[in-house]
Structure 1
Amino acid sequence: MNYWYVYIMTNKPNGVIYIGVTDNIAERVKEHKLKVYPKSFTAKYNCDKLVYFEEFENGAEAEKRERQFKKWKRDWKIELIKEMNPNWTDISINWNMNYNKLRK
């Protein structure tokens, strides 16, 4: 089964927040960290730390949740992150990602 993810990236605790959706979270986080798209929002604001994610079995559900998050007030998003990750630690730090290869 292929899972979908809604995730939040940031540049630092209580910093810029980026919300995205993907069906391959490891590759997507790697793209953010390597700034594969240098003109993107996450590259511009150095959002390279994964601080929150939710997993879904269905892409439509994940996209619906992403839209919901994007409508939330900033304070609500911060509280959501703090509930799961009070120190805003980069969750992907121990994922053993291969930074030499990117999916094309």
Structure 2
Amino acid sequence: MQAPHYYVYIFGDNPREDVEIGIAGDLQKHMAEFKLPQPNQNKVAAKAKLVYYEHYQAPEEAQTREQQLKGGGLDSTFNLIESMNPNWLDLSDTLSDQL
């Protein structure tokens, strides 16, 4: 049986603009659903790219990390993204490497 996967993710489009931080068990599926057109969709979702993610096997660890990111302020979130992904590239094609 395969170990569970939990991802803390950051979706964004352009550097230093709005981002979406969350948790997903199946990040590929969540990304596909997130990008589906929805009424009143915010601008992040409309052009979202996976710009940062971390993998966890314990849901509690993922939840704690999500809360840290959400509570850290936008500057620290932007700095984290730019430390690992300075060009804000879409990292969704790297997900299969993590499974």
Q: Which protein is richer in helix relative to its size?
A: 2
Matching residue of 2:67: 67
Deviations 1:24-54 (A, max 9, x none): 110011111224xx257xx312331110000
Matching residue of 1:17: 19
Equivalent pair of 1:12/1:49 in contact (CA under 8 Å): no
- Root-mean-square deviation (Å): 1.6
Q: Show structure 2 runs of 5+ residues with no match.
A: 95-99
Matched, 1:32 2:34: yes
Partner SS, residue 28 of structure 1:
helix
**TM superposition score normalised by structure 1:** 0.78
**TM superposition score normalised by structure 2:** 0.82
Deviations 1:45-64 (A, max 9, x none): 23311100000010111011
Give percent identity, aligned residues only: 34
Work out the number of aligned pairs and report it: 90
Q: Show structure 1 runs of 5+ residues with no match.
A: 96-104
